[in-house]
Each structure stands twice: as structure tokens, then as C-alpha cells.
Amino acid sequence: MRLDVFVSMRLAPEYSRSQVARMIKAGLVTVNGAGARASSGVRTGDRVDVAAIPAGALSDPSLYKEGDAPEISVIFDDDEIIVVNKPAGMTVHPAPGHPNGTLVDALLARFPELAAMAEPDGVLRPGIVHRLDKDTSGVMVVARTPFSRTALSRQFKDRTVKKTYLAIVKGKVARDRLTIERPVGRHPIERKRMSVRSNAPRDAVSHVTVLARFDPADADEKGTSLVRVKPDTGRMHQIRVHLASIGHPCLGDPLYGGKAGGGGFFHRQALHALALSLTHPRTGERLEFVAPLPMDFVEFLAQKLFTADARELRRWIELS
């Protein structure tokens, strides 16, 4: 039997096969006292040792400077999961150009035990099972244990997690409801963009419902629409690309034609992850979490004399 298969069978469901493969690559797994490859064979009588990941590996204060761990709004937390309301402008995890001030920094500062969730190769993404774009606000779930990380990752892969987004887009969307089924992949020329005209697209489906249409502020504009989007898939920039592909990009999204500034209200794409529905990894209970509207949404809708209280948010979520 392959070493990675053997170890992942013994460690499941706490660790996935891909995580085990990284552990092997990092030298944390030995066979008969010697390092081995994931593809190495193991036989009856072999001794396989798995070294523990140091519990404090990521809690070293040198990883981020004082002041680089921002405050984060926690919607819910228990022994298995943490649900947060990520603000616009916050990157989920460290990346080139964004080494500090990330959601991961905020989580480690508030929940230092997450350090034990370090990837075996030292990647600083403890408990992260899905992402939101830097300038997209809203609800995110984070795994607090290896068991929950594996269980939640499976739910996202099987598409049993239900996501509800709100977007404010350019123009008045003509149809009340539409489903956009256009594969999304990396733009063939501009590598920072995604596109429905990619050379290597992956299937992507978004269900759009118009919640309100607003008249233009002056004769030079074409109005705006508030829409709810329920994606079946989770491709990078999917909702932004899909809305732009029908001629209605998010306000404040210059990358996809939404014009910087968003009419003075949005200095980021007007996209908010409103609700997330999932099955609790341990209890099996179906749970739903809602992130309140961010201030730029509130101010825009107030200027349009449009009510967006908690009761209205609930109605938007439950619309069939």
C-alpha cells in the first residue's frame, strides 16, 4: 500500500490525504526510522512514525508585528467552528503583498489555539476552508479542529453549504430571476482577472434574483439594482465575473467594469456575503449564520429610501 494512503486511513477523518502528503513531504513521517515519499510502499512489519506538529508553531509573536492583528467580529463560536463577519479590505490569509493584518492574524490573536491547526508545511492558513475576496465583506466559517476542517471541506466540495450574497450592480437588471451558467477561469491575457472566456474554464452556476431597482441620480446614469445571488459553485471571483458578463458589474469594481468610487458610496466591489447555511461537523445540526449589512450598503440603501432591517434581510434570504 502507498504510504500516503496508509497514513491517511489511520488518521482519518482528522487529516485528509492531501494534508498527509504534505506531512510526508515536510519530513514528519518516517518508515523504519527513515524518510520516505508519499508514493513509497509499506509492507507488513514496517514501522511508520508520525511526528506531531508543534502546537505553538504559528503563535510565535515574530510572525506578525504588534498592531497587525486586527479586531474581528465573531458571529458564533464553539469547540468546533468559528463564524466571523469579515470586513471589506481584509485579506483572508498572508499572501505576497499582504503579509500582515489578515483574517488569520485576527483569528490567531483571539483564538491562539488555532496555531495547532498549522499546515504541516508551515502554511499560515489554520482552519481556513473557504475564502472571500479581500474587498468582499460578510460571513465566513473557520474550522477550529482538524476533524471540523476535514468535515467542512467535504461539505464545500459536495456543495451542501448554501451561500447567499447581496450585490448592488450597475443598471436595471431586466429579468426578475435568471440563472447564469457560464464556466469561469483565468483570463487568457490579464492574469489578475477571471473570465467566462478562459482557455481553461471550470463550471460555474449563479442564481440571481432582483430585489429592487433604483432610478439614476442624473440623466447620465442608467440606474442600479440590488440583487441576491446564490452560487452553486465557488470559483474565484465567480459572482463578480458572472454579473459583469450580463452587463451588470458590481458598483465599485473597476476590475470588471464597475467603475471605481461606486457613485461615492462604494470604494470596493459592492458585494456582501449575507448568509451561510451548513451542517455542524459534530452534531449534524443544520445551522444558518447571517452577517449584518456593512455601512456602505446601509448608507446607499438609505439614500434610496429603501428599508433593509433584519426582517427584510430574512425575507431576502428565504425568497424561493
Q: Report pLDDT digits (tens) over 72-110.
A: 999 999 999 999 999 999 998 766 555 567 898 888 888
Confidence class for position 60, pLDDT limits 50, 70, 90: very low
Residue 315 has pLDDT above 90, yes or no: yes
* pLDDT at residue 261, rounded to an integer: 66
Residue 2 has pLDDT above 70, yes or no: yes
- Selected catalytic residue, list 133, 135, 253, 296: 133
Residue 230 has pLDDT above 70, yes or no: yes
Q: Is 122 exposed, middle or buried (0-12, 13-18, 19+ CB in 10 A)?
A: exposed
Q: Report pLDDT digits (tens) over 248-268.
A: 999 999 999 887 766 678 999
CA atoms within 13 A on the CB side of 82: 24
φ and ψ at residue 104, rounded to 5 degrees: -60, -40
* pLDDT at residue 59, rounded to an integer: 42
* pLDDT at residue 64, rounded to an integer: 41
Per-residue pLDDT, averaged over 173-192, amounts to 94
Give, in order, the Cα–Cα distances in Å from 48 to each of 2, 10, 12, 34, 42: 12, 11, 16, 9, 9
Is residue 133 among the annotated active site residues? yes
Q: Report pLDDT digits (tens) over 195-217.
A: 999 999 999 999 999 999 999 87
φ and ψ at residue 282, rounded to 5 degrees: -95, -50
Best CA proximity match to 266, nearest among 137, 140, 163, 176? 137
Per-residue pLDDT, averaged over 123-144, amounts to 90
The residue that leads in pLDDT, 105 or 142, is: 142
User: Nine-digit cell at 47?
Assistant: 514501522
Longest pairwise C-alpha distance within the chain: 80
